[in-house]
Structure 1
Amino acid sequence: MDVIKDLAYRDRREAARAHLVASGRAAVRPLIEELLDETSAVPYRDIQNLLATGIGPDACDEVLSALAGAEDEEARRRLSGTFTSFGSVERYREALSHPSAEVRNAAAVGIQFACSVAYGRAPRPGVDYARLIEALIPLLADPDPGTAQRAEWVLTMLGPGVEEPLRRVRADGPGKLRARALSVLAAVGGEEALSPKDRATVERLIRVTLLHDEAVPLDTCFTSWIAVPTGDQRSVGEVLGLFDARPATFALGQSVGAHDSHDGAEFGRVYVTPEVDGWTLVLGPWCDPADPERAEEVLHAVTELSRRHGRAQAYYFGEQGGGSAWLIAENGSVVRRFCASWKDDDAALRLGEPLPEERAACVEEGVTPVGDTEDGENDEEWLDLAPYLAPHLAARLGVSPFDLGPHTTVHGSGLVALTPYARAHGRPSTGAYAI
């Protein structure tokens, strides 16, 4: 239909759209062909919108059929995007059992878009969520790994109604669904959603894994940590006021740290490493020496740790352009605190004189050492370099969590513990974490 080409021209677009909508089913196949033509001057998203919201249900079956037969990745991407735009929940539910993995995956995405109650969204009126959940659960064992993962994600977004059906799967099977059912339960309701038997199973798995646990990099994108040159976890925990400590592998500690750093800073929980190359690290947003809510308490805690153990440090590093901060204390006195995050109030946190390691980093990067210019710590070259230095300084001054690995000498086992913040503000919610 030549009128499809008119969609590329602003002065003809509305008339062309009206004509195509009026044509109904007759326009669907030509529109799909145009959608898949990568040389077309018509924006493919305009065609997606026309099929899904202009022609609507009359186009759905042909789009699904084309998706099932698509032979290249770009065609599948465009057709999947079109199919998930229809908003037809019943059609998506039926398509969950389609022979094509591409269709099953797209159907799950369509349910996610149309029915998710995550992030405070209200349930979609008129939708039988229980029926949707029952249709999605078998996909947890889908032969296509991407579809199985998608089903797991979508189930976590459909609200607490998923818990009872998944507890039945955990209790009665089938066995091929049990592992992912456990992950969904943990993600939706945390530890409290698990049966006593499942909680015991998880705790046993952690204990067994700890027997051969190896250090891994503790990179959480927005990473905050305290470092103390001791293997005495109990002493560190006493000074920091930690409580309800439970055994945790490195992978679990990293997973908890990543969760607590990404979903809004969670101050109620930290991961305490075993002794790593002679140091104990405490990981979590609660340790951030530059956070406006935490800075002074972290200053006090690190000072007290240094009084007991000779030295103590705290750092923050935002890997995605979030800047750096470091706090160094020795024998009960602050030696240095510095924040470099491109914020106007960074200067208010500065204490002490530049460290030799800071100046050495400048020399290595070929910039004027901090403190050597008239502007001192406000020198532009230094302020461009400093936001990236926290991991480097941590390694120079002790141990960096980013450098941990199989080469790290480890003594003891790690812990996840609650902080004093949890006493005042309630225990943090739990979720699905790696072990």
Structure 2
Amino acid sequence: MMKIDPDRLRALLAEHSVEPDRWWLLLRDGEVAALLNDVRRLACDADPGIRRQTWDALDRVVDDGNRDNFFALLVGGLDIEQFRRLLTDTDPQIRSRARWMDARGSGKEPFLEMTLNLLADDRFEYAWPDCIDVLRQPFNFDALVGALTEAPKDGSGKRLWVTLGLPEATRVPDFLPEQSPAAFVSCQFSWDCVSEDSDLVATHQCRHLPIVLALLGSSLENVRENAISALCAFGTGSEGALRSVPPSDRLARREAMMMLAEFGWNYLPPDRLAVLKRLIRMKQRAEKPEPLDFGRLAGSWYALPTTDRAAVLDAFDLCDPVPATMRMGFAPWQGKRPMNMGPDYWASLGISGFRAENSPAHPWDLYPEVFVTPALDGWTLVFYKDDTLAAKPNATAREKQLEMYSRMAALSVRFGTAHWYEQFTDDYAPGCWSQWCVARDGTIRMHCVSSGEVWIRRSDEVDPAAPPDRLYAWLEANDNRRGPRPSKAELDRVEAYVNMLREHADERRLPNDDDDLDMASPLQDQVFGARAAAQRLSVNLETLGPHTRVQGSGVLAVPAVLRHYPRRGALPI
């Protein structure tokens, strides 16, 4: 009988060859690939005794640090017959190894089909829980929804509901024509639903929509997320179906209301809107500011030393203000934005291409909401994304910079002082790219960019060619921060960094408009970035809390030129 060579396996695991980013480079052929194929043959041998001995040996050899990577690699390379033996083994310990199979993607359809067949076969009742585990992690949502449309109400149909996180007695609703007259959806699951003349199908004729709607009540978060994505693809024709979810099904009802909010706040039932408005006002009265996570903050904001919200709305030509808690208003700048809707959605609303002179070419790329905060320690902040406040969204970088200078000058004349901050983070690397600008009495006093280097773009107070320590001295001189102060350890680290910059001041070069602005290091960002400038000069968003003085309340508004855009998005309150 063939046996595993423990020394060869240990040598394999001692190398970096089982790290995920090296699998496909090093394990396609050669001795390592041959060894793994030997292990697969033994681990799924026709003799149950050999299978058991092999897995016992693997448990002794494979350490915890390599376990998930190695077993995923091992099971992922099984052929269909080997995997079937693994999944139907009478030993539950052996069957449990099948959970490392990823049944998604091209070439995996036979594995998925085989697992579904086992789930429907009464001879393998003992393996059904393991089949469910395989189908769940990670799962092919579209395939499972398709299987549910074909499965009988009893037997495998019940088990598929359980697989997707619902009771086995789940029943889908029937939508009658009179419940959703002239409502059509775009079904992504099967061509059986659509006709030759159209990609749309009447709501009451779509076999998949009721199943997706039921899955909104799943106990599994990833199933609910997939159901929401599917409903997004179905389009606004599913409005009536979403409204029909009964209040007694609390989880599904909540998700349905969130989906309606993603389509547009006007799609929410009037009674629901009234409840939300009352809830927002109640929470506004009791809400305490919470710190923002600058590591996730992406977008731009103005800071104005005023408590006059009406004047701020007028200065930015904002209209239709809607009351918003700070948690609700800050959410889009902390990673919670409305779902992306395709061109079909916008076309259905009559918005496609250039709608107005100041509209962007691709309206779905724009988030029109502007969050005007309550006054925080005497400052009102105006948060916006993308080109929402731009007079000419498709302008060049230089044109946008000059427009910003013009607006800052006007704001500083009206309010005495105006600040502007912008930050973009990198999901795959530490640090960020940011810039900030300060204007007083109609004059730009400082505009700084923190990227791969620190650039003074424009300043009436510090020579743009000066080394960074001069900028640091300017920030120190203008520091008027409130609230908690930095720790001594943090101050020492900053001082050491600034001293290093002084020592290497001669190496600094002047920027030009063609510079590739890379990300700033976390320490540079802490000293010269938008977060550092905001901390010192206006409002420290990272230390908001009960000590922050709050006056008035926040609102979400839209620029007058964008008031034709739908108000939408499911935001936390």
Same fold (TM over 0.5): yes
Query: Aligned residue for 1:302?
Result: 408
Q: CA deviation at 1:281?
A: 0.7
Kept after mapping to 2: 8 A contact 1:223/1:317: yes
Query: What per-residue deviation string (whole Å, max 9, x for no partner) do you get for residues 107-157 of structure 1?
Result: 2841348689xxxx9935569633641552341xx3xxxx2x223212122
- d(CA) in 2 for partners of 1:167 and 1:90? 37
Matched, 1:243 2:319: yes
The residue number in structure 2 matching 1:50 is: 77
Per-residue CA deviations over 1:150-198 (Å, capped at 9, x if unaligned) read: 23212122134465543222x45323542333234434x2424433332
Equivalent AA in structure 2 for residue 180 of structure 1: E
CA shift, 1:336, in A, is: 0.6
> Which whole-Å deviations, capped at 9, do the CAs of 1:339-397 have from their partners, x for residues lacking one?
11228xx8594444445443669757442678994567759xxx865433322221221
Counterpart of 2:227 in structure 1 is 155
> Which moved further from structure 2: 100-109 or 251-260?
100-109
Larger helix percent: 1
Identity of paired residues, percent? 23
8 Å CA contact retained: 2:216, 2:251: no
Structure 1 spans left out of the alignment, 5+ residues: none
Amino acid at match of 2:76: N
TM-score, normalisation: structure 2: 0.57
The residue matched to 1:221 in structure 2 has which SS?
A: coil
SS of 1:157's equivalent?
A: helix
Deviation per residue, 1:289-329 (Å, 9 max, x gap): 9x937433332222211101110101123455222211000
Partner of 2:485: none
The within-5 A match list for 1:93-242 is 103=132, 107=136, 109-112=138-141, 123-125=188-190, 129-130=208-209, 132-134=211-213, 136-139=215-218, 142=219, 147=220, 149-160=221-232, 161=234, 164-169=240-245, 171-187=246-262, 189-219=263-293, 220-242=296-318
8 A contact 2:447–2:457 mirrored in 1: yes
CA contact 1:275–1:410 (8 Å) conserved in 2: yes
Letter of the 1:200 counterpart: A
1:240 Cα shift?
Answer: 1.3
Counterpart pick for 1:398 among 538, 542, 563 = 538
Match of 1:254 in 2: 330
* Amino acid in the other structure paired with 2:290: V
- Runs of 5+ unmatched residues, structure 2: 13-26, 120-126, 146-185, 193-206, 341-363, 391-395, 463-470, 478-490, 512-519
Decide whether the 8 Å contact of 2:416 with 2:441 is kept in 1: yes
The CA deviation at 1:101 is 12
Q: In structure 2, what is the equivalent of residue 313 of structure 1?
A: 419
2: CA distance, partners of 1:330 / 1:371:
33
Number of the residue aligned with 2:377? 277
Specify whether residues 238 and 217 from structure 1 end up closer, same or farther in structure 2 by C-alpha distance, changes over 3 A only. Answer: same
In the alignment, what sits opposite 1:427? Answer: 565
Instruction: Give the Cα–Cα distance (whole angstroms) in 2 for the partners of residues 200 and 101 of structure 1.
Output: 47
Residue 229 to residue 371, structure 1, CA distance change in 2 (3 Å): farther
Whether the aligned pair in 2 keeps the contact of 1:224 and 1:314 (CA below 8 Å) is yes
- Whether the aligned pair in 1 keeps the contact of 2:88 and 2:95 (CA below 8 Å) is no
Structure 2 CA distance for aligned equivalents of residues 393 and 48 of structure 1: 52
* C-alpha RMSD of the superposition: 4.9
Larger mean CA deviation between 291-300 and 220-229 belongs to: 291-300
Distance in 1 separating the partners of 2:421 and 2:452: 16
Partner of 1:39: 61
Report the AA paired with residue 204 of structure 1. Answer: R
Q: TM-score, normalised by structure 1?
A: 0.72
Give runs of aligned pairs for residues 281-292 of structure 1, distance below 5 A.
Answer: 281-286=381-386, 292=397
Q: Higher Cα Rg: structure 1 or 2?
A: 2
Please say which of residues 260-269 and 274-283 is displaced more in the overlay: 260-269
